[in-house]
């Protein structure tokens, strides 16, 4: 619970230290005295957003610190997660807001991010302000109120895990479908590429071979002339002897004398080898000359084929190896596209299976809410009857809709505060006073669903008076038996219930406005209660009435 609060240079509060009891703590004071500033200070220490304008004029910074005691297990666990030690079961939070807009937060003297304060604050204090009643004016938020009452969180988390998985698959399917549309065009393009290249039936190195054959065909005449001349030199003709014949003559002349001069034998053998080699060359030249006879059809085919290969290389090359690479890459991409179709079918099947699971969980959650709604109606109605709404009739309108992150239900609270009137949406018929009491009733029935030790009610008495105000005071007193309660009020019926009554006053000191926060001792409480009731300087009778209210509250 909140044990102590220290505020320095926060708006009109120059310096104040406030101690709180474990029961009902009430703040009273005239309108504009600074009660809202006190709530802002508590919000700041809980990590809520504040601006530099909250710093007292002329000061460098505002400082707010708080001490909490009787810490629950969830707080200890959160501190452990943050790596912060906690001794003697006490927790110290502090925050500085500088006039230049900077901010510094500490937990047990250790500097932390403001988000750490917020995480701890969510477990330490629950603040209900006037604007919170607007939750009742938003039907889409009613489902969360019912779920909080029903302890539906485990079911909701289980449902949401499946629902989010379903959403994820649906998004993947949508993305694949979009990609599939683009892939169809790409698939057609790839198929054309594969067909175009494969239809040519190109063999490895074919382009070089054709180029070479074409070069030979185009130069057949000059090649024939060159080979014919070479053959003539080697073999001679009818008029002139060739080199082979001359070499043969040289061999014969030398071979006659090998017996006389054996050293010539080796030379003769070498000449014989040259003669054989030249005869072989002459034979091949003759054969190749015969092959140079160009077939016109073959020549046309070679030109056409060369043009085809040149075109395909220009399109997918520049070299034939590049063409082959393009072909292989296109085939692989086609395979990937074809597998995406099977993947889409697989995802659709999984989506249908998961949709069935989500629908069943949504139905189970809906049935759970239906049962919880009956208990919710009974408990809230009992609270409202106690809060001076004896003829209240509450209904929970539950209709089925499409699957959402909250299930399949649409929940809206309907109410009738008068006999003979059918329940209608709270947002349309509830007055300000009724909204305050309904919100208090909800807070009370949900209070035991969490472990937050401190509840703060900022003007929960808006729009109520008389007997209804007295009932609200008693209810706050009742709640304070289980939780620490801090309440800002304008009503005497609520203020008299306090175990710790704190007065907030605004005065002028040295030409400046100063707000003071003062715990009222027992003998001074009647003066403040009388002021609240009359708004004037209290008479003896007013003081007697005020003391009587205090005494009766203590008796109750």
Instruction: For residues 406 and 145, give the distance between their C-alpha atoms in angstroms, rounded to a whole number.
Output: 12
Last residue of a domain, one of 294, 314, 334: 334
- Is residue 482 a part of any domain in this protein? no
Whether residue 197 is found in the same domain as residue 120: no
Whether residue 94 is found in the same domain as residue 228: no
The per-residue pLDDT for 147 is 92
Instruction: For residues 555 and 542, give the distance between their C-alpha atoms in angstroms, rounded to a whole number.
Output: 20
Q: Which of 193-207, 217-231, 397-411 has the lowest mean pLDDT?
A: 217-231
Element at 64 (helix H, strand E): strand 61-68
Q: Locate the DSSP E strands across 372-511.
A: 393-404, 407-416, 424-425, 454-458, 484-488, 500-509
Last residue of a domain, one of 315, 334, 353: 334
Rama region for 101: left / alpha / beta (φ>0; ψ in -120 to 50; rest): left
Task: Give residue-wise pLDDT tens across range 144-175.
Answer: 989 989 999 999 999 999 999 999 999 988 88
- Is residue 372 a part of any domain in this protein? no
CB 383 within 8 A of CB 113: no
Percent of the chain residues topping a pLDDT of 70: 97
Whether residue 213 is found in the same domain as residue 317: yes
- Is residue 147 a part of any domain in this protein? no
Q: Which of 24-33, 397-406, 487-496 has the lowest mean pLDDT?
A: 24-33
Q: Locate the DSSP E strands across 11-51.
A: 13-19, 24-28
Whether residue 5 is found in the same domain as residue 106: yes
The per-residue pLDDT for 450 is 67
What are the C-alpha distances in Å from 139 to residues 135, 409, 417, 427, 497? 8, 12, 18, 8, 33
Whether residue 212 is found in the same domain as residue 309: yes
Instruction: For residues 521 and 40, give the distance between their C-alpha atoms in angstroms, rounded to a whole number.
Output: 25
The per-residue pLDDT for 452 is 84
Instruction: For residues 331 and 445, give the distance between their C-alpha atoms in angstroms, rounded to a whole number.
Output: 67
Q: What CATH number did the domain enclosing 504 receive?
A: 3.40.50.300
Write the secondary structure of 89-140 as one string of H (helix), E (strand) and C (coil): CCEEEEEEEECCCCEEEEECCEEECHHHHHHHHHHHEEEECHHHHHHHHCHH
The per-residue pLDDT for 448 is 66
Task: Give residue-wise pLDDT tens across range 202-219.
Answer: 888 888 888 887 887 787
**When comparing pLDDT for 5 and 534, which is higher?**
5
* pLDDT, average across residues 70-86: 87
The per-residue pLDDT for 134 is 67
The per-residue pLDDT for 276 is 92
The per-residue pLDDT for 410 is 94
Whether residue 112 is found in the same domain as residue 86: yes
- Is residue 54 a part of any domain in this protein? yes
And the tokens for 27?
């703040």
The per-residue pLDDT for 130 is 56
CB 139 within 8 A of CB 425: yes
In the chain, the number of structural domains is: 3
- Is residue 363 a part of any domain in this protein? no
- Whether residue 493 has pLDDT greater than 80: yes
* pLDDT, average across residues 411-428: 87
pLDDT band at 129 (very low <50, low <70, confident <90, very high): low
Q: Is 42 exposed, middle or buried (0-12, 13-18, 19+ CB in 10 A)?
A: buried
The per-residue pLDDT for 132 is 63
> Which residues are paired to 6 by β-bridges?
17, 65
- Is residue 230 a part of any domain in this protein? yes
And the tokens for 1?
């619970």
Task: Give residue-wise pLDDT tens across range 447-490.
Answer: 667 678 898 888 777 777 788 888 888 888 988 888 899 998 88
- Is residue 346 a part of any domain in this protein? no
- Whether residue 361 has pLDDT greater than 90: yes
* CA proximity to 430, closest of 38, 26, 67, 135: 135
Whether residue 116 is found in the same domain as residue 256: no
Whether residue 307 is found in the same domain as residue 210: yes
Q: Residue 45: give the domain boundaries.
A: 1-20+29-127+499-517
Whether residue 121 is found in the same domain as residue 203: no
Task: Give residue-wise pLDDT tens across range 19-51.
Answer: 999 899 999 888 777 777 888 889 899 988 888
Whether residue 190 is found in the same domain as residue 233: yes
Last residue of a domain, one of 306, 334, 362: 334
Whether residue 209 is found in the same domain as residue 321: yes
Q: Which of 129-143, 185-199, 304-318 has the lowest mean pLDDT?
A: 129-143
- Is residue 457 a part of any domain in this protein? no
* CA proximity to 358, closest of 418, 312, 405: 405
Task: Give residue-wise pLDDT tens across range 261-295.
Answer: 888 999 999 999 999 999 999 888 888 877 777 67
Whether residue 294 is found in the same domain as residue 251: yes
**When comparing pLDDT for 229 and 525, which is higher?**
525
């Amino acid at each position: 619970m909140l044990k102590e609060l220290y505020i320095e240079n926060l708006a009109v509060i120059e310096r104040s230290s406030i101690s709180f009891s474990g029961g009902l703590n009430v703040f009273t004071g005239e309108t504009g005295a600074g009660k809202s500033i006190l709530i802002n200070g508590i919000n700041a220490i809980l990590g809520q957003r504040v601006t530099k304008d909250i710093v007292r004029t002329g000061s460098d910074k505002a400082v707010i610190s708080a001490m909490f005691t009787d810490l629950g297990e969830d707080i200890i666990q959160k501190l452990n997660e943050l790596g912060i030690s906690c001794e003697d079961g006490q927790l110290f939070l502090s925050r500085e807001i500088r006039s230049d807009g900077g901010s510094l937060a500490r937990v047990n003297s250790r500097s932390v991010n403001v988000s750490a304060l917020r995480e701890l604050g969510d477990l330490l204090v629950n603040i209900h302000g006037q604007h919170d009643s607007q939750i009742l004016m938003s039907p889409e938020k009613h489902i969360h109120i019912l779920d909080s009452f029903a302890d539906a969180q485990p079911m909701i988390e289980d449902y949401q895990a499946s629902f989010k998985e379903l959403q994820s698959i649906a998004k993947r399917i949508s993305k694949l479908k979009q990609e599939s549309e683009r892939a169809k065009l790409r698939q057609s393009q790839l198929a054309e590429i594969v067909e175009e290249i494969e239809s040519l039936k190109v063999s490895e190195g074919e382009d070089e071979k054709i180029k070479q054959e074409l070069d030979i065909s185009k130069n057949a005449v000059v090649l024939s002339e060159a080979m014919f001349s070479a053959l003539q030199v080697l073999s001679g003709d009818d008029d002139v002897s060739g080199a082979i014949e001359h070499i043969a003559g040289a061999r014969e002349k030398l071979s006659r004398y090998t017996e006389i001069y054996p050293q010539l034998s080796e030379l003769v053998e070498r000449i014989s080898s040259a003669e054989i080699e030249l005869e072989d060359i002459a034979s091949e030249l003759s054969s190749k000359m015969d092959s140079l006879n160009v077939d016109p059809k073959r020549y046309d085919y070679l030109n056409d084929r060369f043009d085809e290969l040149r075109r395909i290389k220009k399109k997918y090359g520049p070299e034939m190896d590049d063409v082959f690479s393009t072909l292989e890459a296109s085939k692989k991409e086609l395979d990937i596209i074809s597998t995406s179709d099977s993947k889409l079918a697989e995802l659709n099947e999984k989506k249908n299976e998961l949709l069935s699971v989500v629908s069943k969980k949504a139905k189970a959650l809906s049935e759970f809410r239906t049962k919880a709604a009956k208990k919710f109606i009974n408990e809230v109605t009992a609270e409202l009857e106690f809060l001076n709404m004896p003829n209240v009739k509450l209904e929970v309108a539950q209709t089925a809709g499409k699957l959402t992150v909250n299930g399949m239900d649409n929940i809206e609270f309907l109410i009738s505060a008068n006999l003979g009137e059918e329940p209608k949406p709270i947002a349309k018929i509830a007055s300000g006073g009724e909204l305050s009491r309904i919100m208090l009733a909800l807070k009370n029935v949900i209070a035991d669903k969490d472990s937050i030790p401190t509840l703060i009610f900022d003007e929960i008495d808006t729009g109520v008076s008389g007997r209804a105000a007295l009932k609200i005071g008693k209810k706050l007193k009742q709640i304070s038996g289980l939780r620490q309660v801090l309440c800002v009020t304008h009503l005497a019926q609520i203020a008299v219930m306090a175990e710790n009554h704190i007065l907030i006053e605004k005065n002028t000191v040295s030409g400046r406005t100063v707000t003071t926060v003062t715990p009222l001792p027992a003998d001074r409480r009647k003066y403040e209660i009388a002021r609240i009731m009359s708004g004037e300087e209290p008479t003896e009778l007013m003081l007697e009435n005020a003391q009587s209210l205090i005494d009766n509250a203590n008796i109750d």
